[in-house]
Amino acid sequence: MAEQITAAKATAKTVRIAPRKVRLVVDLIRGKSIGEAISILKFTPRSASPAVEKVLMSAIANAEHNYDLDIENLVVSEAYVNEGPTMKRFRPRAKGSASQILKRTSHITIVVSEKKEG
């Protein structure tokens, strides 16, 4: 008998927000129920909130469509941000020199799973 899948995952790669800023938002929703997590993201005034919300909605849709999980019992079991590729740009400076600017990107991963009984 095959083991039943109780978790669904969604990933957004190369999101143009620094990982340090996205982690502040992701830390707010880790371990929460999906209803609570969505309302937290809607009312968090940070630039990363819409991107994280989009990944969360994708994970919920994956759970419902691919694995037939009950969306009423889902919780955010894992949520983490890894560093994506860094784009290097240059800004002109005094006396004909230039300084490097690093435009950082993020890989956002959210895993939702069914709440454990008990």
Using one digit for the tens of pLDDT, what is the confidence trace for 74-109?
999 999 999 999 999 999 999 999 999 999 999 999
- State how far the Cα of 8 lies from the Cα of 21, in Å rounded to an integer: 25
> Does the pLDDT of residue 118 top 60, yes or no?
no
Residues 6+ apart with CB under 8 A from 72: none
Tell me the pTM: 0.91
Angle at 38 between CA 36 and CA 39, to 5 degrees: 65
User: At 37, which helix (H) or strand (E)?
Assistant: helix 34-42
Q: Are 88 and 100 in contact (CB under 8 A)?
A: yes
CATH match of 7-114 with 3.90.470.10: yes
Give the residue from 79, 28, 88, 84 showing the smallest Cα distance to 58: 79
111 and 79 Cβ atoms separated by less than 8 Å: yes
Q: Residue 1's pLDDT band (boundaries 50, 70, 90)?
A: low
Q: Contact 29/40 with Cβ under 8 angstroms?
A: yes
Domain boundaries, given as residue ranges, for the chain: 7-114
